[in-house]
Structures are given as C-alpha cells and as structure tokens.
Structure 1
Amino acid sequence: MISITEPSFDETEVEMVRAVLASKWVTQGPMTERFEKLIAENQKAAFALACTSCTAALHLATMALGLGPEDEVIVPAFTWITSAHSAEYVGAKAVFADIDLATFNIDPKALEAAITPRTKAVVSVHLFGLAAPMDEIRAICAPRGIRIIEDAACAIATTYKGEPVGAIGDLGCFSFHPRKVVTTGEGGAVTTNDPELAAALRSLRNHGTTGLPSAEIEPHGPWTMGTFNRIGFNLRLSDIQAAVGVAQMSKLKALVADRRATAQRYTQMLREVNDLVLPVAGEVEGHTYQSYVVRLVEGGRRRRNAVMSAMALAEMQSRPGTHAVHRLGYYRNKYGLKAEQFPNACAAEDTTITLPIVPFMRHSDQERVVHVIRQALKG
C-alpha cells in the first residue's frame, strides 16, 4: 500500500519523549515552551501558544477576538469544516465566499462581495500549503477594520512573498495532525504579534485563568490560588506531545525540501496530461505541499471517483481535496444554502484528487502512481 502520507519518526522523537518522562514534568512545562519558541521563530511571530489541535487554535482565535452573536465571519467555501465551525462555536455566523479554482484559496472578489456591516473577521485559509493572496485580503480588510485569522493548518513553513504565514494577519492557526509536515499526533498552535491577544489566548486555553489575586487583599503563599474572571477551556498541549514537536521541528527544513522535490517530480511527470490541472498557480515559491492536489478538467465527480477507484485497486491511497462546506448538512440546513451559490467550491470538491506524498518517497512509487492515473484517465 502506498499511503497518502505518513509521519517521519526516528530515534530523535524517542529520545525527546524519554527526556520528558524522566523529568516528570509532562504537561504545559518547559518542553511546551521550547516547542512554542521554535514555532514563533520559524513563523517570525512574537508569540506562539501551543494547544490541543488546530480546531482548538481556531476556536481560541475567535474567542480572543471577542466574536459572538450578531457577528459574521467570512470563510472560503472550500476548506476543512472547522474553518467555519470556529465562527459557529462562539455564536457568530459563518458566511461563505467562493474560491479561485486555480489556487483553491479564497477569491478576493468573492470575499469583498460577501462583506456586510456585520462582518468582523475573515478566516484566510492557506489550503494544501499554498499561501492565500494576503496582500489583496489585507487591502480589503484593513480599511474596514476586519480582523484576519490565518488558517495555516496545512502551512507550517509556507511563505507568502518571502514572509512566513501566520503572522501576516492578526492570528495564525497551525495543525500538527499526522497528515501535516510536522506532527505531534494531535496538536496545534496560535501565533500572533499582538501582546493583548497573546494574553487572552494564554488565559482561554487554561480554564480562563487571569493571574493571581492582589497581594493587598491577602499576602501570597502556598494557599494562593489563581483568579478566573472569564470562561475558559482546557486546551493545553502536553509536554509529551511537545517533545515530539521539538524533534519534528529540527527536521522541518529537510522535510519541506523533500516534499517540494516530490511535488516537482509529480509536476514533471504529469505536465503533459491534459486531463489534469496541476497545483502550479499562486505564490508557488512558498508552497510546502502538505498535499499535492490535482483537478480533473472534464468528467466531473463520476470520472474522478473512477480514477480514485483505480488507485485503490492498485493499493494507493487517495482523497478528495476537501469539503465544499456549504454543501454539508449543518450549514446547508441552518442557512438554506444551495450548491450553485459557490460553483468553484463544488467543482473543487467533485474533481480533486490528493495524491500520495510521503516523506522521502521512492521515485518508483511515484512512477506507479502516475502510471495508474494515466491508465485510469484513458479508460
């Protein structure tokens, strides 16, 4: 079986986890701080706060911005579902905007058309490791006071015009799920350059703690407990997971370089297959290829499924790109959305295939994948 992807582990991760277990400090301790520092340095952000998942990171971001009922948050219609859920978690409304089929990222014109007086934020997704058009997004949002949450779940080490994503908007949200370039099993992080947002995030992920009470009320001692002046959650990352993350971050440059090389080989081998559109649009110099996603030009969902079936028979994993979120039951039923409202998102869901791209993938395995796809398209 050729997996769609897999983590790259060795003795480095084992030794880091062993060190944490020996220390007996296994949650929200020095290893988590070390992991956060590595993320912040890599993304050129002033602050990075680790948490349990990117879903948690997005939830923390919407809470830190104070979003709530009566607010609207614009989300690309083609993305993983929690890009939209993060707005709904806090009682705000997810409002969809269509994508640019060439990049699978939000179309700035569609973003601008979706803005209303209630729009308070946009979730700008860097889908599959390709940066969204941040200059256009900022030009639209900044004059209107609309906050930007970068959904960088797929985009650790992705750059936009030479700058790492995650600190271009107000907040950046990262995933360390096993399908990502860097993994901690499950895990996430929020980045920001705003100290007030960082303080809110730190409190919200730790039950809503707001520091120690005033010493003027009672002298501090072993009896002193923290204050809790806001509602919060337990979304802290364990030091055991952070240890895996620290080991993974030491390999990040090599993992990204390898992934880009594998993607370039796919592009070279598939360049003359006229039935496919390859991921070659947008700021491709900064693309980290968390996924290598191709799109069928003709034949729609039925032909796409036939290609994926042929791959499965040849023992090769594949997946559609991701969801057209407005088609999913919760959003379709709650807001009365129709598929045709966001045609590019529907086309992307129906015609995309994520190809296997594992760390240090054998050239022969790539050749097998390409051969099966070519034969399936002929059939």
Structure 2
Amino acid sequence: MEKRNIPIGLPSMGVEEWEACREPIESGWITQGPKVKEFETNFALRHNVKHAFAVSNCTTALHLALVASGVEAGDEVIVPAFTWVSTANAVKYCHATPIFVDINIETFNIDMEKIAEKVTSKTKAIIPVHLFGLCADVAAIKRRFPNLKIVEDGACAAGSALNDIPAGGLGDIGCFSFHPRKSVTTGEGGMLTTNDDEIAVRLDRLRNHGASISEEQRHHGPKPYILSAFEMVGYNYRMTDIQGAIGVVQLKKLDSFIDERQKWADFYKEELKDVKWLKTPEVPEGYKHGWQSYVTYVDESIAPMKRNDIMELLQQKGISTRPGTHAVHMLEVYAKMYNIKPNDYPEAFKADQFSMSIPMHNKMVKEDYEYIVQALKAI
C-alpha cells in the first residue's frame, strides 16, 4: 500500500465546535460562566453523578480531589507505579507521600492483590487509575478499604463503565481530562465528579480561590457591591466558557466516538491475532472500555526485533506509536527521592519497556487501520 501518515492521536473537531465559540466571544462572558455550567450539567447526567465541576485540567482536578479529601502533609496516598506522572505529582502538591503499587500486566491497572501490603496507618486515600479507558476495579477496592477515600484518575475514561456504573461515580471523587489525545477535548481542561454533597461544596469553592459566592452569582445579583466571602485558601483552577462551549458540543459526540473506536478495537483484535509477538488488550466481562488509546504489549522473547526498533520502523512507514505511558517509579525525580530501583515494581517496569500504543482516533479511516495492520504483519 502507498505510504500513509497516521498520527498517534488527533482531536475530532469541526464547524460545530467553531460555531459554539461564537456565543461566549460575542457576549463577552469568556471566563467560567453559563457554558461551563451547561457542560458540567450534561457531563453529570451522562456519567450518572450528582455533581460535576469543570477545571483547567485533570492534574488540577486530582489536586483538588485530594485537598477535598483531607490529604495533607504526613499522609500517604496509594498510586499505581505505571501511570502518567501527574497522578503522583498531585500527591506531592499536598505535601503527602505517594506510595507506589505494582500493576496487573494484563490490564495495566493497579494490582488489587498488592494494595493491602502498602496500606498503613498513614494511608489517607487510594488513586486507582482507569488507564487507557479501562476502569480499575474500584468496587473491590472500596469493599476492601471502606475507610479510605477513593479518588478515580479517569483522565482517559470519559464514557467508560464498570458493571454499568460510569467512571466518575465508582469512588468518592472522579477526575477527567479533556486533553487533545482524549476521546473528547476542550484543548486543555478537566472535570471533577462526586455524589457527596459536602465534598461538592468544597470542590466548587476550592477551584475558585476558595470563594463561597461564584463570579456568575456576584455579577448577576442585585447588589453590585457584594464581593465573595473567603473561608478557605483556594486555587484558580477554573475552566473558561470558550472551553465549556466546545465541551458541550464534544460531549454530545462521546458515545458515537467510543462506538467507532470499539469497532476498530475489534478490527485490530481480529486482524492481529496471528501476530504472536504482539499482545492486544483484553476487556474483562462487565467492563465498558473507553478506548482512549489502543495499547499493545511487545513480547521481545519471540518478536523479530526489540520494541523500540519496531517503533522506529513503523515511524519510517508513517505510523506514529508511543509507549503506553511511563513507570513513575523509574522517573529520575521519584527514583532519587525514594531510592527506588526499576525492578522494585517488576510489572510496571515491563509495561514501561514493552507497551506500545498504536494509532486509534476518530479522524482515522478504514485505509489507515488496514495500513497499520499490514505494516505490523510485515515485520
């Protein structure tokens, strides 16, 4: 086949998103306002939760979730060793200690059987990550550790579900990302979800400097001299109304985006089944995968070449790939800070070294998928 150029990810946006920006721009209300509120309302409805709060990105969502959960200096928070660095960074923002737990290499998610040995009297929360769009088994974690706060890192998991319960409503607080590589995007942006009314009040105030009166309430109220009251130290983690307007449009497309990705996940699964050195992802019964990424595993013991060489070869053919993500315990900052060795978390180490994400996004066409399959089979 003729050489193609296929990026690892590409946002699916068009005229509707462009037009959606008109209203906030023309009205002059471009900071957090009515469009953000509409986006939050629709997101909460789609994910079957009582409250949703839009923020600047998923990292700030994680930070606020931990603060609202009472995490502070001296506390410990359980995080998987294989995840994007922000999961651990958010713990450090609270002056707490991230305690790494190895993963299950079959799902790339935190290994349930290894959490218990890391829980101590200092443990305040657990952050299960729904990596690549596959939910972690939050229900089992809650049953095992009912006294710990569960903060879902659902950066990749908009639209994902476990036993028909959407991500974001499985734990105490859910955190989502709208980065351009996610299924739906607002450029940058994040969302917090919760069913806890008290936590909801704290999240709403914390994202807006700690103010107990929102900007919208203040500007539209009958008493223009009233300023916000501040009863806590908060942060400026708000989303703009331009982003909110885009999010409203993108959210309407979420389910069709996931359905399309599921179709091509099935295609990859079938077409690559005879490529014995390449393990494709499994979806356990009861799980709805959001397919933020399609992450495979290269078995170098039988592969014709090393993973990195395969990735370079595919790049030469115009096919972009990436490692699934990184093992946080192997990053210099955490390895030095806690004197961690790569093999201290062997499954995370393997995922770091041998995972390979191949292109899957809603701008791809049939010929792209066929070209990728052909290239992999030809190696």
Q: Kindly provide the amino acid, as one letter, of the partner of residue 121 in structure 1.
A: A
Deviation at 1:316, TM superposition (A): 1.0
On the 8 A contact 2:278/2:299 being kept in 1, the answer is yes
Query: 2:226 matched to which residue of 1?
Result: 224
In 2, Cα distance between equivalents of 1:98 and 1:54: 22
Matched, 1:331 2:331: no
On the 8 A contact 2:277/2:302 being kept in 1, the answer is no
Deviation at 1:135, TM superposition (A): 2.4
Query: 1:135 matched to which residue of 2?
Result: 139
Per-residue CA deviations over 1:312-354 (Å, capped at 9, x if unaligned) read: 1001111000010001111111111111110000000100110
CA 1:288–1:221 in structure 2 vs 1: closer, same or farther (change >3 Å)?
closer
On the 8 A contact 2:295/2:324 being kept in 1, the answer is yes
Q: Pick from 87, 92, 99 the counterpart of residue 96 of structure 2.
A: 92
On the 8 A contact 1:126/1:132 being kept in 2, the answer is yes
Q: Pick from 186, 190, 193 the counterpart of residue 192 of structure 2.
A: 190
Q: Which moved more, 1:30-39 or 1:132-141?
A: 132-141
Matched, 1:351 2:354: yes
Q: Pick from 304, 318, 321 the counterpart of residue 321 of structure 2.
A: 318
Superposition misfits of 4+ residues, deviation over 4 angstroms: 299-302
On the 8 A contact 1:77/1:342 being kept in 2, the answer is yes
Deviation at 1:211, TM superposition (A): 4.0
Per-residue CA deviations over 1:289-334 (Å, capped at 9, x if unaligned) read: 1000000122499701011001110011110000100011111111
On the 8 A contact 1:147/1:170 being kept in 2, the answer is yes
In 1, Cα distance between equivalents of 2:235 and 2:285: 37
Percent identity between the two aligned chains: 41
Q: Secondary structure in 2 aligned to 1:63?
A: helix
Q: Secondary structure in 1 aligned to 2:255?
A: helix
Matched, 1:159 2:161: yes
Query: 1:257 matched to which residue of 2?
Result: 259
In 2, Cα distance between equivalents of 1:360 and 1:221: 49
Q: Secondary structure in 1 aligned to 2:306?
A: helix
In 2, Cα distance between equivalents of 1:374 and 1:113: 42
Runs of 5+ consecutive residues of structure 1 not aligned to the other structure: 213-219
Deviation at 1:222, TM superposition (A): 2.8
Q: Secondary structure in 2 aligned to 1:48?
A: strand
Query: 1:370 matched to which residue of 2?
Result: 373
Deviation at 1:373, TM superposition (A): 1.9
On the 8 A contact 2:139/2:170 being kept in 1, the answer is no
Per-residue CA deviations over 1:51-72 (Å, capped at 9, x if unaligned) read: 0000010011011112111110
Q: Pick from 274, 291, 296 the counterpart of residue 272 of structure 1.
A: 274
**TM norm structure 1:** 0.94
Per-residue CA deviations over 1:6-60 (Å, capped at 9, x if unaligned) read: 1111211112111221222111111000000111011111000000000010011
In 2, Cα distance between equivalents of 1:356 and 1:343: 27
On the 8 A contact 1:158/1:288 being kept in 2, the answer is yes
Q: Secondary structure in 2 aligned to 1:323?
A: coil
On the 8 A contact 1:262/1:361 being kept in 2, the answer is no
Q: Kindly provide the amino acid, as one letter, of the partner of residue 323 in structure 2.
A: P
Per-residue CA deviations over 1:111-139 (Å, capped at 9, x if unaligned) read: 11111111110001000000111222112
On the 8 A contact 1:75/1:83 being kept in 2, the answer is yes
Q: Kindly provide the amino acid, as one letter, of the partner of residue 333 in structure 2.
A: Y
Q: Secondary structure in 2 aligned to 1:315?
A: coil
CA 1:284–1:308 in structure 2 vs 1: closer, same or farther (change >3 Å)?
farther
Q: Secondary structure in 1 aligned to 2:275?
A: coil
Deviation at 1:272, TM superposition (A): 1.7
Q: Pick from 328, 338, 343 the counterpart of residue 340 of structure 1.
A: 343
Per-residue CA deviations over 1:156-209 (Å, capped at 9, x if unaligned) read: 000101110111100000000000000000000000001111111111110111
In 1, Cα distance between equivalents of 2:275 and 2:229: 62
Give the alignment of 1:235-314 within 5 angstroms: 235-283=237-285, 285-299=287-301, 303-314=306-317
On the 8 A contact 2:7/2:359 being kept in 1, the answer is yes
On the 8 A contact 1:72/1:120 being kept in 2, the answer is yes
Query: 2:76 matched to which residue of 1?
Result: 72
Query: 2:217 matched to which residue of 1?
Result: none
